[in-house]
Chains A and B, each alone.
Chain A
Amino acid sequence: MKRILLALIVSAWSLLATADSELQVENAWVREAPPSAHMMAAYMTLKNPGSSDTVLTQVDSPAFDHVMLHKSEVVDGVARMIHQDDILIPAQGSVELKPGSFHLMMPTPEKRLVEGDRVDFILTFSNGETIRLQADIRKKP
């Protein structure tokens, strides 16, 4: 009986822990690129309702050869892109990947992606969690 109770407590705790750390991804989209473009960018909002910080460490996609984490910054009027090894999503906070800031950068695939197409991404976080999501190709600033 004691063992069953313990097992119940443990599983209830792990359920709570899962709910607590569940990351959310919203509004994922990829900007449609001009025909000759070599690179594309993807954007999304990463939400971390959990009580500990988490880190986006890797992004993969079957639609692209590879996916890089980047951040655009304008310092003294000069725009530069800086490679990011990872992106921190603070506990009970969020990070917006948006134009002019954090974004994913991918080389354009052979077959051009246009508005209406959808691509898959697999996000891997430092806690081992992975999230698979679909992003729309959109024509917008």
Chain B
Amino acid sequence: MLLAAVLLAACGRPEPPQLSQGTLLPSAKPVTDFQLTDHHGQPFSLENLKDNWTFTFFGYTHCPDVCPTSMTMLGQVQRKLEQQEGLDKLPQMVFVSVDPERDTTELLSQFVPYFHPDFIGASGDEQNTLKLTRQLGILYGKAEGSAADNYLVDHSAAIILLDPDGAFRAIFGIPHDPELIANDFLAIKNYYEATQ
């Protein structure tokens, strides 16, 4: 403990944590503003990221396999963190639709809270969705050969972690393990707080 304190004082800054599942960005990337609407019909923008840790997953409600799997997994992460002693505030979990054409606020309001009552669903027009996804390296688009009214959407499967400054801090590629993601989150949060 003493040695750690001496080392910390000597080096000035703590070392970035070794993560089990996630990848920490060498330096957090600030996100510029975007305008989405949450599943209650309220605006959801950069302002909503401030002072919160935020996990985001990008998917669509017509997706029967990958999206429910990831959302259920995020529900498990949240329930693990709820049991974590000493955690002052839980992260917010945000499902951003990559199919705003079909994912209405009403659809999102039934889909997203199913996985956890505190989860937030958000969608916006193409321009604002792209404004956010492009900053986070998220790709999406209608699958080739899809019909106009019955289509599949290809989308990045990664989960993104944003810090309380609203900056892109870490990325979790698949496969996702709730235990490892919860532990990585705590390590990232501790590192963030130690370096402020």
Contact = CB atoms under 8 A, between A and B. Distances in A.
Does B associate with A?
yes
Interface of A: 31, 33-41, 70, 72, 74, 77-81, 99-100, 103, 105-106, 140-141
Given A31-B68, A36-B107, A141-B68, 7 more contacts: A34-B114, A35-B111, A35-B114, A38-B61, A39-B63, A41-B64, A78-B139
Interface of B: 61-66, 68-69, 72-73, 76, 106-112, 114-115, 139, 143, 152, 154-158, 173-175
A8 B33 CA distance: 80
Nearest to B144: A80
Query: What DSSP secondary structure best describes chain A's contact surface?
Result: strand
A32 to B, nearest CB: 9
Given A78-B157, A80-B143, A31 B64 contact: yes
B38 to A, nearest CB: 15
25 contacts: A31-B68, A34-B115, A35-B114, A36-B106, A36-B108, A37-B61, A37-B68, A38-B62, A39-B62, A39-B64, A72-B65, A74-B66, A77-B157, A77-B173, A78-B139, A78-B155, A79-B66, A80-B152, A81-B63, A81-B66, A99-B65, A105-B64, A105-B65, A106-B64, A141-B69
A70 B143 CA distance: 13
A-B pairs with lowest CB-CB distance, top 10? A36-B110, A34-B114, A39-B64, A79-B157, A41-B64, A141-B72, A80-B154, A99-B69, A79-B66, A35-B110
Contacts of A34: 61, 68, 110-112, 114-115
Contact of A40 (B64, B66, B69, B112): B64
A70 B64 CA distance: 10
